[in-house]
């Protein structure tokens, strides 16, 4: 299925390099989620009332949090972005694509083991938290170079032949533009921000690029929504030209990124404040696209149950909740992680749903069975409880980025809220594990089929 009147650029993934690269990036994304999920168990236990007093996990909490966030946000999101870019993109530049993937895979392995090496001092800055340790920084640089090569290829291979006629390819291309600007912001900040002791250096260095990267995630989330709806047989009622215009409007705030870097000293207060305003004023430009996603969701409501449909429903619900909570932030408390957990989990669920659509198109088995059907609801439901618990606790003053006794849970409402957080987090971990199992089952099917084919060819 493709969008009405759209050329079949997203219905069939080009054989050769695009399909092979998409499969490789999907494997990397799934591996990152496995590592992130294992660390998430420690995070949830270290903040759950009762358990936190039995197991002294406070010291491990911060180091685990760093790698958990980087695997689940940086690696998973960028890996699946690469899946989308390969799936809609043209062939060519194989050396660039495979070089980017190899570097990203190596970096992911190094990042995963870095906490077990000496000197892993955690710095819990926003967007890309770090461990002040040589191996971790090495992994981060290798990953940055790998993603840079990947984005360079994406900008070339996803360039739309018709800017107003291929909305999904245009959306993927604009996501690559956002990624390019985010990487440029990271490099620019690294060159110009004076190094100082403490969290503030890393906070400022990742501030501009981190804010910019959110536009990539949001654009690709809508690409996933529309692709899922089309695959389910409910293409957008809007014309390809209209959808393309909405993508262009949503990407307009990205023009402010180079302007902020050129006009204001990097790292100073006006620079930091303008990027915060970019989020506040820029994301409403996504509003029409989000409404289009809501209309697509309404269009699939009467369709039979399917894993991709479940993910679409859960994704929209969590993303909308995260958006509402963003306007309820007052002070530095756990309403902030409630907001970004809702938003980022909305993106994750959209990518999970698109993964279910793409698995058979990449030569893997199709996700089937009750586990695949209920996985998005288990994961999304757990995250919903998790987010609501954080939001409730934030209203009673529970601070963010602390664990154990440092949380100072003295009142019953605080304990109830963080208890909800813990319960929801554990349910979400189960839902994440279900996704991994569904994917591994479908992806191992391809190996089994290939082995069977080889065996048949050998028979006389």
**237 pLDDT above the threshold of 90:** no
**Phi and psi (nearest 5°) for 132?**
-75, 85
pLDDT digits (tens, 9 = 90+) for 219-230: 999 999 999 999
Confidence of residue 342 (pLDDT cuts 50, 70, 90): confident
CB 226 within 8 A of CB 293: yes
**444 pLDDT above the threshold of 90:** no
Query: In the predicted model, what is the mean pLDDT of residues 290-304?
Result: 87
Number of other CB atoms surrounding residue 331 within 10 Å: 10
Ranges 97-111, 328-342, 348-362, 421-435: which has the least confidence:
328-342
End-to-end alpha-carbon separation of the chain, Å? 40
H-state helical runs in 300-362: 307-326, 335-361
Confidence of residue 269 (pLDDT cuts 50, 70, 90): confident
Place of tokens 């800017």: 163
Stated pTM of the model: 0.85
* Cα(107)–Cα(75) distance, integer angstroms: 9
| Maximum separation of any 2 CA atoms in the chain, in Å | 76
* Cα(98)–Cα(366) distance, integer angstroms: 26
Confidence of residue 81 (pLDDT cuts 50, 70, 90): very high
Confidence of residue 429 (pLDDT cuts 50, 70, 90): confident
pLDDT the model gives residue 8: 37
Confidence of residue 405 (pLDDT cuts 50, 70, 90): very low
SS3 13: coil
pLDDT the model gives residue 10: 52
SS3 6: coil
CB 389 within 8 A of CB 420: yes
**335 pLDDT above the threshold of 50:** yes
The residue that leads in pLDDT, 456 or 92, is 92
């Amino acid at each position: 299925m493709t969008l009405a009147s759209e050329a079949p650029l997203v219905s069939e993934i080009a054989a050769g390099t695009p399909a092979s690269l998409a499969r490789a990036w999907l494997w990397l994304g799934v591996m990152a989620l496995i590592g992130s999920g294992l660390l998430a168990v420690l995070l949830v236990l270290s903040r759950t009332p009762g358990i936190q007093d039995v197991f002294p996990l406070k010291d491990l909490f911060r180091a685990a949090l760093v790698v958990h966030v980087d695997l689940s946000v940086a690696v998973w999101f960028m890996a699946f972005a690469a899946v989308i870019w390969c799936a809609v993109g043209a062939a060519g530049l194989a050396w660039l694509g495979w070089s980017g993937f190899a570097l990203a895979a190596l970096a992911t392995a190094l990042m995963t083991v870095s906490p077990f090496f000496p000197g892993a001092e955690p710095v819990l800055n926003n967007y890309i938290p770090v461990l002040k340790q040589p191996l971790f920084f090495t992994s981060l640089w290798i990953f940055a170079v790998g993603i840079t090569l990947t984005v360079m290829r994406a900008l070339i291979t996803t360039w739309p032949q018709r800017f107003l006629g291929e909305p999904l390819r245009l959306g993927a291309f604009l996501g690559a533009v956002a990624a390019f600007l985010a990487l440029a912001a990271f490099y620019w900040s690294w060159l110009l921000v004076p190094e100082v002791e403490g969290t503030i250096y890393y906070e400022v260095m990742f501030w501009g690029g981190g804010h910019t990267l959110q536009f990539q995630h949001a654009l690709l989330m809508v690409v996933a929504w529309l692709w899922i709806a089309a695959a389910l047989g409910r293409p957008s009622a809007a014309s390809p030209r209209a959808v393309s215009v909405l993508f262009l409007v949503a990407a307009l705030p990205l023009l402010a990124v180079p302007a902020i870097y050129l006009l204001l000293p990097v790292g100073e207060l006006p620079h930091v404040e303008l990027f915060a305003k970019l989020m506040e004023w820029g994301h409403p430009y996504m509003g029409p696209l989000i409404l289009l996603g809501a209309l697509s969701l309404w269009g699939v409501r009467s369709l039979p149950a399917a894993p991709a449909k479940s993910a679409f429903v859960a994704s929209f619900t969590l993303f909308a909740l995260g958006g509402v909570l963003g306007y309820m932030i007052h002070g530095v408390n756990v309403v902030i992680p409630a907001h970004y957990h809702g938003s980022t989990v909305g993106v994750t669920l959209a990518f999970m749903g698109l993964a279910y659509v793409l698995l058979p198109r990449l030569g893997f088995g199709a996700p089937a069975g009750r586990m695949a059907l209920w996985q998005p609801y288990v994961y999304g439901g757990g995250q919903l409880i998790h987010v609501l618990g954080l939001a409730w606790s934030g209203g009673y003053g529970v601070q963010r980025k602390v664990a154990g006794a440092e949380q100072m849970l003295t009142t019953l409402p605080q304990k109830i809220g963080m208890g909800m957080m813990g319960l929801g987090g554990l349910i979400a971990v189960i839902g994440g594990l279900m996704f991994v199992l569904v994917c591994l089952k479908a992806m191992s099917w391809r190996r089994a089929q290939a082995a069977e084919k080889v065996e048949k060819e050998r028979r006389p």
